[in-house]
């Protein structure tokens, strides 16, 4: 919530309802239809009505009562300061596997922030644990119908969850999930799986408990714990072996087949990392429902491979002049991209090198492309093939910005490597970047 009573107005769209009524930046929205406006969730919920009585506070303290008639869900044209959320709710847990606790020093401050905010779960798909919520928060979630929510479950064993999250209310997870499910809140859940801790029979219990909630649980994603080299003094954890990854994949296959038979949805998914580690094919697209957890690394490989099949049919047979490029990825990405690079190299006059970048920032046991820093790329490629274009995926960068985890920009990397750097998202952009020109349209 912003300082003072109500939410601060940051902008007003010209010609909008708000502009016509004299709303200006710096005003505050105190309440709507007699209800206080705590944040943008209240604002959106309350302004969906057709008739509004809105109390506006001017900078000099004068209060205006605006009576508004509008179409259902018609926008008032108001932009709220700070996105209308105010301070982020922080995590109260001390999870044994927390990735933030394994971050090296010296990175940008926002990377060390631990959020556990149900509002961000609803608006952005962030995962929350429910441990920092009071009864009024649950009532508000239900009253505002904040659905779906994304819940980090990890285990449904009360004692084990208290141990893993190190929070006294962590063991209440199933009663809280039942409360939300009973109110019609859809739930996307995740299990960060730690060997010898919440796997095996504990994982069986967790998935069975979650499936017992019926259609309220829309998805269960099982993802492996991420470990860096910065774990001094932390709980002893290890990564999964390829054999253990194959066991996880097989368990998920059985759950998925059962769910497909019972409710025609897969529901339970293993992250792509498990399939790549196990060395087994990822399932076809039909087994990923509507791809509910791609942000969690579930199904991205399948989407890429299916997209590549379409792109491969549009590739030229040869280039008019020789061209050499480099494509950078992480260790796991090599397994996905190797056949793609092989196909591109069949184009006459095109030479594509796949550069697998070791992770120096977090440690070489971190193998995903999304955690590679600009410094990692610089260390691996400095002095090699100056002038030759380098192609990177956008997962290496801060969302919406050309900045790596270590705050190096794409421009800085380009200057230090003495070569152009291009960002390519998806198969079509990757192929176009390698070719140096757009792909031809597919001819039906």
CA atoms of 293 and 126, how far apart (whole Å): 11
* 15: CB partners within 8 A, 6+ apart: 77
Which is nearest to 362 in space by CA: 188, 230, 200? 230
Note the pLDDT tens digit of each residue in 247-291. Answer: 999 999 999 999 999 999 999 999 999 999 999 999 999 999 999
In whole angstroms, what is the distance from residue 346 CA to residue 242 CA? 32
Q: Which residues pair with 352 in a beta bridge?
A: 325
Using the CB atoms, write b or e for 169-192: b if 16+ within 10 Å.
bbbbbbebbebbbeeebbbbbbbb
Handedness of CA 153, 150, 400, 223 (dihedral sign): positive
Q: Where are the domains of the chain?
A: 7-84, 100-297, 307-435
Q: What's the rounded mean pLDDT across residues 121-142?
A: 96
Other C-beta atoms closer than 10 Å to the C-beta of 302 total: 21
Task: Give the whole-angstrom CA distance, residue 278 versus residue 248.
Answer: 9
Q: What's the farthest any 2 CA atoms get from each other in the chain?
A: 74
| CB contact at 8 A, 280 and 396 | no
Tell me, rounded to whole angstroms, the distance of Cα 110 from its chain centroid.
16
Q: Quote the CA–CA distance of 300 and 139 in Å, as a whole number.
A: 35
What's the token pair of residue 418? Answer: 């003495």
At 179 the pLDDT is: 98
Could you tell me which CATH number the domain at 7-84 has?
Answer: 2.30.42.10
For domain 100-297, say whether CATH 3.80.30 is its number.
yes
What are the start-end ranges of the E strands in 108-256?
127-128, 149-152, 187-193, 217-224
State how far the Cα of 85 lies from the Cα of 2, in Å rounded to an integer: 8
The per-residue pLDDT for range 152-198, each reduced to its tens digit, is 999 999 999 999 999 999 999 999 999 999 999 999 999 999 999 99
Helices (H), 166-284: 173-182, 201-211, 242-263, 272-278
DSSP 88: P
For residue 444, the model assigns a pLDDT of 39
Spatial neighbors of 407 by CB under 8 A, at least 6 apart, are 107, 108
Assess whether pLDDT exceeds 80 at residue 1.
no
Q: Measured on CA atoms in the order 34, 26, 61, 85, is the torsion positive or negative?
A: positive
Q: pLDDT tens-digit profile of 64-120? A: 999 999 998 789 999 999 888 888 899 999 999 999 999 998 888 888 999 999 999
β-pairing, 78-80 vs 7-12, is: antiparallel
User: Edge to edge, what strands does the sheet with 187-193 contain?
Assistant: 127-128, 149-152, 187-193, 217-224, 268-270
* CB-CB neighbours of 230 under 10 Å: 14
Q: What is the pLDDT of residues 380-424, one digit of tens each?
A: 999 898 889 999 999 999 988 999 999 999 999 999 999 999 999
How many angstroms separate the CA atoms of 283 and 261, rounded? 16
CB 354 within 8 A of CB 341: yes
Which tens digit of pLDDT belongs to each residue from 341-369?
A: 999 999 999 999 999 999 999 999 999 99
The rounded distance, in Å, linking the Cα atoms of 323 and 330 is 23
Concatenating the DSSP letter of every residue in 388-407 gives S-EEE-GGGB-TTSSBBTTS
CA distance 401 to 395: 11
Q: What is the pTM of this model?
A: 0.89
Structure confidence at residue 442 (pLDDT) = 59
Of 400, 396, 389, 399, which is closest to residue 432 (Cα–Cα)?
A: 389
Q: Do the Cβ atoms of 414 and 387 come closer than 8 Å?
A: no
């Amino acid at each position: 919530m912003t300082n003072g009573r109500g939410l601060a107005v940051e902008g007003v769209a010209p010609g909008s309802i708000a502009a016509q009524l004299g709303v200006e930046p710096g005003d505050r929205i105190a309440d709507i239809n007699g209800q206080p406006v705590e944040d943008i969730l209240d604002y959106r919920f309350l302004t969906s009505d057709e008739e509004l009585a809105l109390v506006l506070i001017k900078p000099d303290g004068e209060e205006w009562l605006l009576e508004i008639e509008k179409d259902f869900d018609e926008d008032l044209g108001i932009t709220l300061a700070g996105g209308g959320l105010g301070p982020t709710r922080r995590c109260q847990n001390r999870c044994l596997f927390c990735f933030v606790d394994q971050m090296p020093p010296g990175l940008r401050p926002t990377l060390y922030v631990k959020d556990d905010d149900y509002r961000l779960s609803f608006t952005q798909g962030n995962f929350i644990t429910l441990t920092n919520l009071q009864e009024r928060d649950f009532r508000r979630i239900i009253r505002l119908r904040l659905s779906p929510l994304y819940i980090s479950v990890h285990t449904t064993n009360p004692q084990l969850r208290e141990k893993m999250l190190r929070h006294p209310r962590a063991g209440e997870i199933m009663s809280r999930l039942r409360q939300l499910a009973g109110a019609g809140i859809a739930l996307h859940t995740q299990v960060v799986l730690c060997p010898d801790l919440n796997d095996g029979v504990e994982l069986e219990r967790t998935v069975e408990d979650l499936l017992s909630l019926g259609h309220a649980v829309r998805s269960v994603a099982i993802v492996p714990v991420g470990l860096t080299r910065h774990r001094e003094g932390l709980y002893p954890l290890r990564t999964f072996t390829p054999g253990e990854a194959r066991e996880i994949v097989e368990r998920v296959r059985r759950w998925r087949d059962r769910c497909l038979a019972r409710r025609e949805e897969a529901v339970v998914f293993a992250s792509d990392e498990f399939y790549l580690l196990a060395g087994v094919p990822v399932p076809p697209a039909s087994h990923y429902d509507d791809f509910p957890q791609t942000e969690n690394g579930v199904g991205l490989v399948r989407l890429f491979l299916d997209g590549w099949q379409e792109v491969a049919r549009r590739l030229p047979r040869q280039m008019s002049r020789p061209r050499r490029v480099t494509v950078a990825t992480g260790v796991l990405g090599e397994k996905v991209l190797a056949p793609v690079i092989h196909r591109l190299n069949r184009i006459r006059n095109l030479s594509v090198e796949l550069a697998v970048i070791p992770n120096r920032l977090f440690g070489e046991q971190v193998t995903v492309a999304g955690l590679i820093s600009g410094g990692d790329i610089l260390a691996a490629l400095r002095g090699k093939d100056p002038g030759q274009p380098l192609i990177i995926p956008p997962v290496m960068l801060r969302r919406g910005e050309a900045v790596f985890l270590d705050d190096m920009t794409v421009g800085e990397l380009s200057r230090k490597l003495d070569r152009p750097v291009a960002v390519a998202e998806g198969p079509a952009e990757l192929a176009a970047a390698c070719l140096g020109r757009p792909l031809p349209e597919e001819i039906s």
